[in-house]
Amino acid sequence: MESKDSKVQAPVAPKPAAKPMAQKIADAEKISKVRGIKNAFIVILVCAAAAVCIFLFAMGAPGNFEGGDTNNHPLNLAGTVYKGGFIVPILMTLLLTVIVLSVERWIAISSAQGKGNTTKFVTDVKLLLAQNKIDEAMNRCRQQKGSVASVVYNTLVKYKELDANHTLSKEQKLTTLRNEVEEATALEMPSLSQNLPIIATLTTLGTLVGLLGTVMGMIKSFQALAASGSPDSTELSTGISEALVNTAFGIATGAFAVISYNFFTNKIDNLTYAIDEIGFSIVATFAATHEG
């Protein structure tokens, strides 16, 4: 008989290597949760479909024109806008895109600011750093959340690692800490500025498309004036309507895009200034509390 000890035991799978402490903390806690639309092309397509539907079925409804015919004079503002021609749905697409992306950026940047006032958060963390209360500062980051808190939290994790490191010199530690601030900031910035280049592009594009519609409307008007005999009043008014409607839409799109872009750029700049300020405080605190 075979003894029990002679039984072949199944091989034991090796245990996975333990993650570094910083990676464990990063996996367990997500300080920054910036919400946003990743693919703006889908937004443009949806806005284009909505603009075409509004143009054809709402503004082009028979009740907006004399005798129920779109070739006749308009009876209200919707009919007048319809007379702006095929450029109108293009401009409506651009305007709707600016509005949707502006709302999206508002939600994203609001979530990036965290749960409380950013200025108060920076003041609180600087006070805790002055007292060398690193753990309390990390807890304050967990409460605040947002992009600034995420950068500060990751930097403080590196701070504690360097604090326990006795191999590197003080200058090497300070350089590593500065690099951590820059790296954490670089990871947060793309999510904040996402879709803003599209809004900036629509600033100029909306104005140019509106100008194109204006020129085309004026061409129609002059063609009506140049007709033999008495000018066709219907064609003349159609051309003028097209020019003015496209001008109004182009100006509205460009103005709204400029306001939106500058507003959100200023918000991002304020967050960047807060990160720079608190990052400098962390490095200064490490330099003051550690000997060379």
Q: What is the pLDDT of residue 4?
A: 46
pLDDT interval class at 228 (50, 70, 90): low
d(CA 153, CA 85): 55
Spatial contact of 95 and 253, defined as CB atoms under 8 Å apart:
yes
Q: What is the pLDDT of residue 6?
A: 46
CA 260 to chain centre: 11
Of 249, 181, 237, nearest in space to 212 by CA:
249
Spatial contact of 196 and 109, defined as CB atoms under 8 Å apart:
no
- Report residue 1 as tokens: 């008989």
The 10 Å CB-count burial string (b at 16+, else e) for 8-31 is: eeeeeeeeeeeeeeeeebbeeeeb
> How confident is the model over 111-130, as pLDDT tens digits?
888 888 888 999 999 899 88
Average pLDDT, the chain: 85
> The pTM is what?
0.82
Of the listed ranges 38-42, 106-110, 220-224, 272-276, the one predicted with least confidence: 220-224
Of 247, 242, 193, nearest in space to 219 by CA:
242
pLDDT interval class at 229 (50, 70, 90): low
d(CA 71, CA 96): 27
Coil/strand/helix, residue 74: strand
Spatial contact of 96 and 45, defined as CB atoms under 8 Å apart:
no
